[in-house]
Structure 1
Amino acid sequence: MTMIVRNLQHVRDRITTACVAAGRNPASVRLLAVSKTFGVDAVIDAMSDGQRAFGENYIQEGVEKILAVRAWETDGLPGAIPSQWHCIGPVQSNKTRLVAESFDWVQSVDRLKIAQRLSEQRPPDLPPLQVCLQVNIDGGPTKSGVAPQEALALAAEVARLPRLQLRGLMSIPEIAPDFIAACAVHQRAADLFDQINRAGVLPQAMDTLSMGMTADLEAAIHAGSTMVRVGTAIFGGR
């Protein structure tokens, strides 16, 4: 058993334990393995233990990795569930075509202009690009994301774009000093998620609340996260 496989199993145990403590079904939380800065071999190692969803912060690195892994899948993993790739880093206007053509999900949409370009540049032979709005839930000065008070209006606009499917919200709050504080800030994102769904402006309800990383996944799950993004606890330090 490799280190990555052992780490994956430990993270899955953490998710299960957190769900049980919160009175939730462990199947309600998906694990996104954040593979940025790690090579194709590390991704394939994780895939050998059943992991299929991967997150990349750096677009060019991510695209190169996606192409390499998909070539390996074609040759070495026939008939298996294919990998799924999430862009979780900032998307600049000059990179939207690369993202639209290569990724399955984009979790870091925070401006209508970026969403429009992704919609226009998504190839017609691919399924709609799955997107989340990144929300700067705690107003962190170094964090990207739409302000919470502007999220409903942006969600309504993005949901109307033809080659995108709005799936939910993503947040990356500042590190909290303790579990209670972390739960509180994640709860704010969960409340905003519910508020947007209740507003009646979307053609279909959002189903994805992407929050929680290595250090705070338990707090995020307690608050209602449906997807945790874990890198260090799986692949090691960068």
Structure 2
Amino acid sequence: MTTTEHDDIARRLAAVRQRIRDAEAAYDRETGSVELLAVSKRQPVSALRTAIAQGQHAFGENYLQEGAEKREALAGEPIEWHFVGAIQSNKTRAVAEGFDWVHTVDRLKIARRLSEQRPDGLPPLQCCLQVNVSGEASKSGAEPAEVRALAHAIAALPNLRLRGLMTLPEAVTAFDAQRAAFRQLSEQQTGLINDGLALDTLSMGMSNDLEAAVAEGATMVRLGTAVFGPRPEKPS
């Protein structure tokens, strides 16, 4: 990675952090209440090192093998690793063993496997329940009507800690429509908290809808290209 590429990442990271601060101020959110999760899929280890040097320590990975290689290369760095990809049953052990957080739990079967496969000696796996607020057939996530029962069941598992809800809504450009989708998730989380669940995380918002997510209560926004620039082509 060239000096220019390093400088570009540093500039993008500073710009993203300013966007988050501006959104917090615009929507009466406490300063520092929204965390940046840098989604680093297909980015080289050198790009993560640049972000780490700028104080970024939470990274999201979509692919298990790539995530394992990066964890090995960056062993000893103070990194919090988040899994943000789709989870099939054959992936649960690798997620349970290698990550600190998982954002894409959408079925009780998957949650149970993650809990059973979390190694002894590690703290509980922090998790979010993914909700398909837009009802898109192409998207993963629990149906909104399933969320209450599913959240209570996940919260009872011994080696998971349910932190909150996550969504990846339909991509729309109208700000009010973006807010409406995120409001659904926020309202569901409020209902779960009223039920007695100790939830503190709303994982929602990406580069094109960050402000709408913050307006509706996001505590963690997931940004990739806005931080790192275009992703390298996926290997064939």
Q: What's the TM-score, normalizing by structure 2?
A: 0.93
2:179 pairs with 1:186: no
The reply on whether 1:93 has 2:89 as its aligned counterpart is yes
Q: Which 5+ residue runs of structure 2 have no aligned equivalent?
A: 1-5, 232-236
Give, as a single letter, the amino acid of the residue that structure 1 aligns with 2:213. Answer: A
Moved over 4 A (4+): none
- Identical aligned residues as a percent: 56
User: Structure 1 length normalisation: TM-score?
Assistant: 0.93
For structure 1, which segment, 113-122 or 55-64, has the greater mean C-alpha deviation from structure 2 after superposition? 55-64
Tell me the amino acid that sits aligned with residue 143 of structure 2: A
Matches within 5 A, 1:18-33: 18-33=23-38
Q: Which residue of 1 aligns with 2:56?
A: 51
Given that 1:15 and 1:26 are in contact with CA atoms closer than 8 Å, whether structure 2 keeps it comes out as no
Q: Secondary structure at 2:129's aligned position in 1?
A: strand
1:156 to 152, 156, 159: 152
Pair 1:117-2:110 in alignment? no
Looking at structure 2, the residues matched to 14 and 157 of structure 1 have their Cα atoms a distance apart, in angstroms, of: 36
Q: CA deviation at 1:176?
A: 1.4
Structure 2 distance, partners of 1:175, 1:26, is: 27
Amino acid at match of 1:213: M
State the one-letter code of the partner of 1:96: T
Q: d(CA) in 2 for partners of 1:148 and 1:12?
A: 31
2:209 is matched with which residue? 216
Following superposition, the deviation at residue 177 of structure 1 comes to 2.6
Counterpart residue type for residue 231 of structure 1? G
The answer for the alignment partner of 1:41 in structure 2 is 46
Distance in structure 2 (CA, Å) of the matches to 1:3 and 1:179:
28
Partner SS, residue 161 of structure 2: strand
Q: What's 1:206 paired with?
A: 199
Alpha-carbon deviation of 1:26? 2.5
Q: Say which SS state the counterpart of residue 26 (structure 1) adopts.
A: coil
Give distance in 1, aligned partners of 2:72 and 2:148. Answer: 35
Q: 2: distance between equivalents of 1:18 and 1:159?
A: 31
Instruction: Report what 2:68 is aligned to.
Output: 63
Aligned AA (2:75): R
Which amino acid in structure 1 is aligned with residue 218 of structure 2?
A: S
**How do 1:160-175 residues align onto structure 2 when only pairs under 5 Å count?**
160-175=156-171
What is the root-mean-square deviation of aligned Cα atoms in Å?
A: 1.0
Give 1:3's aligned residue. 8
Counterpart CA distance in 2 for 1:223 and 1:153 is: 23
User: Secondary structure, in 3 states, of the residue corresponding to 1:70?
Assistant: coil
Structure 1 distance, partners of 2:192, 2:69, is: 35
Once the two structures are TM-superposed, the CA of residue 67 in structure 1 deviates from its matched residue by 1.7
Secondary structure at the aligned position of 1:55 is classed as strand
Q: What is the aligned partner in structure 1 of residue 141 from structure 2?
A: 145
SS in structure 2 opposite 1:189? helix
Measure the CA separation in 1 of the matches of 2:36 and 2:178: 19
Separation in 1 of the partners of 2:95 and 2:74? Answer: 16
Which sections of structure 1, spanning at least 5 residues, go unmatched?
A: 74-81
Q: Measure the CA separation in 2 of the matches of 1:26 and 1:222.
A: 13
**Alpha-carbon distance between aligned partners in 1 of 2:131 and 2:112, rounded to the nearest angstrom:** 18
